[in-house]
A and B are shown apart, each in its own frame.
Chain A
């Protein structure tokens, strides 16, 4: 019904005034000989002309006679409120001529307050921020020429259908090696402009793109070689998250009550002197190191003061990212390391390059939402375990300050059941007490056995990260979780050269009560493979020895 009505409204003036042909008008108004406004003729807009010659003074034609919905929208825009009419932008008699764009009026726009203005304006037109958009998407095209150097498996190493930060860095490394920088990487920021008439006073905020991702929702990489391949990419790689005052309140500085003016005492950029006020001892270690002298000379070169998270809140990926800002070819430089990418999923750079730091093996809970994994948050647990619940007490049921393997199993199973989603335990080997000397280099000859050994330092500090209401708590966890059955199955860590079964563990099982034996055997878990294997091998050797002796005896 509405559609019919609209058609009638549009057609009405056409029907009423179709009687005066354009040629009759052009007899006097020659300059409009090339008149073009859709398929209309003069009298459809100048609809107060009923016969020729017409009156001297005519009414101003109304655009909304035909363009009603657009005019209604336009009324809400900043341009309308500034009393600009349709004619200020559109030449109504020659719609294709003299079409104005933003720059026609806003000639000297500088965007002084827009950070990285040049980069923003290079890739995006005005309406991306100032208009109403939807279905924004980023396209990254890499042209490798005729060479077909990268296969999908080489890009999406873990085959999860999404290129993450490490996989993107790996691709850069491959391209650099194979094409020596001749590859073309083009970035396109595509949006569908819902209506270019609706330009509001305030543009979208930085947060819309950088935090909430409401403008550009997804990114897609296309590699054009002999065969083109296309795969989604994590959009955070190209549109990084920005700090906000709300986020700042959750950072270490914010939580400790440090206010903006405590550091920003003038408009000048803050220097190390500002940081030294609180971090004097760390600065004392760092300032004389080779890294400080030749590389990052200021604290803020590595640490974004607005984004200062506690070390506990940074995962491996975030930690690696601090170093990677300068050491971009870190994957290429670590090609000597077998399973390079795999190592960087579990290790941060300083695990090796800062020998003075304390390393720990850290476990953390991860949930899977729609094929994406993310860290388990306190609010997830609060929803299913009750308000203000203390998670440390939920896990460490015997309250001895140490998470045992059966406590972990009980909690894991219960949480998984209540959350009703896939739950995992992610592992990493990270620094839990940093030492600010990162100058250790050329480690390839000796580093393997520092970690791939029973005596690796992180076995002395095994921790599980537990989300609490206001912070993240590291709880000590018993080393047996690594091999115990079944915890070791849902922990994604299996290091070459992990600790093997020891005689005292066997004798503990032999001496234990029958009631405790199954628990101790479970706790040994996968370590039993070596025990059973070596036992059978010894039995076989004994059998062979007896056989040899019998052969010799009988022969005599």
Chain B
């Protein structure tokens, strides 16, 4: 059994920090949406926590982007190629059927290509489409008056709210799947351990 070094230290720190930020944003966002939930008693604090954790998420995203732009990780891990699209059905079949039959995962991660085609699709869309959208709409919410003309341009405050919330739901969908799929390693904790130590056992 060999070990491969999949997740460098900066990315592991980023991942867990980002996970914490997103967890706080989802919880506070949920209370902002449904105030009667009363997760925290002070609604004003919820507004401010959501706002400042939103800024933190923007910074964490910028760190991730710069790190992977400098190290070339975007091209290696996130760029979806034709062969990835062709391999998507077999990866889907593996997760839906073959996994129960104990068959081997058609994809083997390596330090130069650590995500399978479905992971690439999920992570790329989250990182390059949904994170920027939710960050930009969130920043517009942080000072509605300052961004008033922009908000008018996209169709008003209600449309801004709709975009922000719809993308927030997509984050929740993604998170549910992501959390569950993290348990699909050799043992249920294999992938999670890899994100802590950096090494994935083959």
A residues in contact (CB < 8 Å) with B: 153, 157-160, 336-339, 341-342, 444-445, 448-449, 452-454, 488-494, 496-497, 500, 526, 529-530, 532-533, 536-537, 540-541, 544, 547-548, 550-551, 554
Contacts and interface: CB of A to CB of B under 8 A. Distances in A.
Given A341-B145, A449-B43, A500-B34, 19 more contacts: A157-B145, A157-B146, A338-B44, A448-B42, A448-B43, A452-B35, A488-B158, A490-B156, A492-B156, A494-B158, A494-B160, A497-B32, A500-B33, A530-B33, A537-B172, A537-B176, A551-B99, A551-B100, A554-B101
Interface stretch (B3-11, B77-85, B122-130, B162-170): B162-170
A544 B96 CA distance: 11
B145 A342 contact: yes
A223 to B, nearest CB: 18
Interface of B: 32-36, 42-44, 47-48, 51, 99-102, 143-146, 148-149, 155-162, 165-166, 169, 172-173, 176-177, 180
Given A339-B144, A533-B172, A494 B161 contact: yes
Given A157-B145, A159-B149, A489-B155, A529 B34 contact: no
Nearest to A170: B145
Contacts of B101: 554
Contacts of B172: 533, 537
A529 B169 contact: yes
6 contacts: A339-B143, A448-B42, A494-B160, A529-B166, A530-B165, A533-B166
A540 to B, nearest CB: 5
Nearest to A491: B158
A536 to B, nearest CB: 6
Contacts, number: 97
A111 B176 CA distance: 79
B168 to A, nearest CB: 8
A491 B155 CA distance: 10
Contacts of B43: 448-449, 452, 497
B146 A544 contact: no
Given A448-B43, A492-B156, A496-B32, A153 B146 contact: yes
Nearest to B146: A153
A47 to B, nearest CB: 68
Nearest to B148: A158
A550 B95 CA distance: 12
Contacts of A537: 169, 172-173, 176
A47 B76 CA distance: 102
B176 A541 contact: yes
A454 B74 CA distance: 44
Nearest to A525: B158
Nearest to B168: A533
B157 A494 contact: yes
B159 to A, nearest CB: 6
A127 to B, nearest CB: 41
Contact of A533 (B47, B48, B156, B165): B165
Contacts of B149: 159
Given A159-B148, A529-B166, A540 B176 contact: yes
Given A339-B144, A452-B43, A526-B161, A544 B176 contact: yes
A497 B162 contact: no
Contact of B35 (A338, A339, A453, A494): A453
User: A341, A488, A548: which has the most chain B beta carbons within 10 Å?
Assistant: A488
A488 B157 CA distance: 9
User: B32, B51, B100: which has the most chain A beta carbons within 10 Å?
Assistant: B100
User: B32, B43, B169: which has the most chain A beta carbons within 10 Å?
Assistant: B43
Which 8 pairs between the two chains have the least Cβ-Cβ distance? A533-B169, A448-B43, A497-B35, A157-B145, A554-B100, A494-B157, A544-B180, A494-B158
B161 A489 contact: no
B140 to A, nearest CB: 12
A361 to B, nearest CB: 14
A533 B171 CA distance: 11
Contacts of A160: 148
A532 B166 CA distance: 9
A294 to B, nearest CB: 28
Nearest to A345: B145
Nearest to B142: A339
B162 A529 contact: yes
Given A157-B145, A448-B43, A489 B156 contact: yes
Contacts of A488: 158
B35 A342 contact: no
Nearest to A339: B144
Contact of B36 (A157, A453, A536, A541): A453
Contacts of B166: 529, 533
Contacts of B148: 158-160
B179 to A, nearest CB: 9
Given A159-B146, A551-B100, A497 B34 contact: yes
A550 B33 CA distance: 35
A65 B191 CA distance: 105
Nearest to B149: A159
A533 B36 CA distance: 19
Contacts of B35: 448-449, 452-454, 496-497
Contacts of A536: 169, 173
Given A529-B166, A536-B173, A492 B47 contact: no
B162 A526 contact: yes
Contacts of B161: 494, 526
Contacts of A494: 156-158, 160-161
B44 A448 contact: yes
A494 B151 CA distance: 12
Contacts of B47: 338, 448, 496
B38 to A, nearest CB: 8
A537 B174 CA distance: 10
Contacts of B42: 445, 448
B71 to A, nearest CB: 32
A462 to B, nearest CB: 16
Nearest to A448: B43
B173 to A, nearest CB: 6
Contacts of A445: 42
A173 to B, nearest CB: 15
